[in-house]
Amino acid sequence: MKSTSLGLGCSVLGLIVFVGMGSESHATIPYAGAGGAFPGFGPGIGMPVLVGGKEYSHDFDASTIGAGAVGPPPFDPQQIVAWDGLGGTVDVTDYTGTRPTWTPDDPMDAIAHHADFAYDEVKTEVAHLIFSIDDMSYAYPGGLGGPAVLVPVPSAGPIPTPVGPIAGAGEITYELGTSFGAAPSSVGTWATQAMINGMPLPDDIDGTEVWGPEPPSADADKYSLDMDIFSGTSVWNGAGTPYIAHASIVGAVVSLLGSDVDPDLINLDALMVHDVLEDPDRFDGSPVGPGGDEIIFSIRQIPSPGDPSGYYATGSELFVLPALGPASFLSHGGHLWDKGYALFAFNVSGPQNPHILDVNAIEAVGEFSTPEPASLTLAVLGFTACLKRRNRH
């Protein structure tokens, strides 16, 4: 396995910068470093190994050595994992025990940084949206009018959809922004299971953060816990204090999808944050006009057999919520991420017995990153070392 990992690393050292070579031994495949210092934008999309500071949370939260079925331990609530894009991982932040007012060790289901890179650019179609889907979602195998049934979703893609093949639940999909001429709804796989965690393969990526610092540092300082209604908070600060109340998320969702829902079922499960005013641990609106703090979020799927579509919320709507002002749907990929689009784009079973996929993690990336000069020197030295190692075999 070590020689395989070395071969992968050497094959891309001409393109990437290996920084932060970890001394950690917790990952099954050690973290090898990724990315560069200056991200940029263009019509293409940079491969994961070129994007530095990548973090994920797993469904039910797992450390690098457990992904739901692998132990010990199989689960590790509130553990965030850094990944290099070559299958290497290392444990970073764990928010267990950090909240004075809510102490249960609930799993996380969304992560973000308070100043997510490319937040404005994803709204203007300059950046590309990346997202993952839940490994379980509701279907109507007996047709609309019958009961909704939770069914599994493959952890590995490609999964055919009406807009094109997307990645599985343990992977990450991209949708290209249209500013550089991409066709609407241009989607594909950005990161496979083996790129995210080579051993064990992830089953369900349910939170993602990119463009942070390299391990051992990490920057996912906003997160959501599973079932917001229990704590009354939908988004928490890394400092352990509430950032956005569950009631605010309920108000935003109801304003766009209607009030025919039990508000206790509304649960934020995907997040990007744009905190630009004053205290980054407070969701502030501008008192003098447009601007202020804002988030993009999605919620867990809510089936509704009484709704003509079978769903109150598909779980794949993306909402934009400013601290002051009305909520709206995100516009990206040449369309609104509203309920109508989700019912079409993420229906994998047909209109009469729909099965709609549920987006549960979001982020944004660009086309490339340019290493700083010092990192280029490291890359050359690393590439030379790889050549010497190969020549000895």
What is the per-residue pLDDT for 22?
36
Residue ranges in the chain assigned as alpha helix (H): 2-12, 119-123, 193-196, 228-231, 246-257, 339-345, 373-391
What is the per-residue pLDDT for 369?
63
What integer best gives the mean pLDDT of the chain? 86
Q: What percent of the chain has pLDDT over 90?
A: 74
State pLDDT tens for residues 60-94: 878 887 654 444 356 788 999 999 999 999 999 99
Confidence of residue 4 (pLDDT cuts 50, 70, 90): very low
What is the per-residue pLDDT for 140?
96
Which CA distances in Å does 206 have to 60, 298, 307, 383?
Answer: 9, 11, 27, 35
**Which one has a higher pLDDT value, 180 or 199?**
180
Q: Is the pLDDT of residue 5 over 80?
A: no
State pLDDT tens for residues 36-50: 667 899 999 999 999
Which of 162-166, 250-254, 339-343, 352-356 has the weakest average pLDDT? 352-356
Q: Is the pLDDT of residue 386 over 60?
A: no
Confidence of residue 389 (pLDDT cuts 50, 70, 90): very low
Q: What percent of the chain has pLDDT over 70?
A: 83
State pLDDT tens for residues 321-374: 999 989 999 999 999 999 999 999 999 998 788 999 999 999 999 997 654 444
Tell which phi-psi region holds residue 333, choosing left (phi > 0), alpha (psi between -120 and 50) or beta.
Answer: left
What is the per-residue pLDDT for 217?
95
What is the per-residue pLDDT for 289?
61
Residues 6+ apart with CB under 8 A from 215: 20, 22, 24, 31, 82, 90, 92
Average pLDDT over residues 307-317: 97
Token pair for 203: 């089953």
Q: Is the pLDDT of residue 6 over 50?
A: no
Average pLDDT over residues 312-320: 98
The owner of tokens 């939770």 is 150
- What pairs with residue 56 in β-bridges? 81, 208
- Alpha carbons 194 and 88: distance in angstroms, whole number: 9
Per the CB < 8 A criterion, the answer to whether 92 and 83 are in contact is: no
Which CA distances in Å does 139 have to 102, 128, 173, 315?
Answer: 34, 29, 21, 13
Residues 6+ apart with CB under 8 A from 391: none
Query: What torsion, rounded to 10 degrees, do the Cα atoms 24, 26, 27, 29 define?
Result: 70
The owner of tokens 């300059």 is 126
Residues 6+ apart with CB under 8 A from 23: none
pTM, entire model: 0.86
Which of 59-63, 107-111, 129-133 has the weakest average pLDDT? 59-63
Q: Is the pLDDT of residue 21 over 80?
A: no
- What pairs with residue 379 in β-bridges? none
What single letter denotes the amino acid at residue 85? G
Token pair for 390: 């190969």
Confidence of residue 375 (pLDDT cuts 50, 70, 90): very low
Confidence of residue 199 (pLDDT cuts 50, 70, 90): confident
What is the per-residue pLDDT for 16?
34
Confidence of residue 245 (pLDDT cuts 50, 70, 90): very high
What is the per-residue pLDDT for 75?
77
Closest CA to 273 of 368, 337, 364, 338: 364
Residue ranges in 116-245 assigned as alpha helix (H): 119-123, 193-196, 228-231
- Alpha carbons 3 and 269: distance in angstroms, whole number: 38
What count of other Cβ atoms lies within 10 Å of the Cβ of residue 309?
A: 17
- Alpha carbons 276 and 77: distance in angstroms, whole number: 30
What is the per-residue pLDDT for 45?
94
What is the per-residue pLDDT for 325?
83
**Which one has a higher pLDDT value, 64 or 29?**
29
Q: Is the pLDDT of residue 244 over 60?
A: yes
Radius of gyration of the chain (CA): 21
**Which one has a higher pLDDT value, 378 or 83?**
83
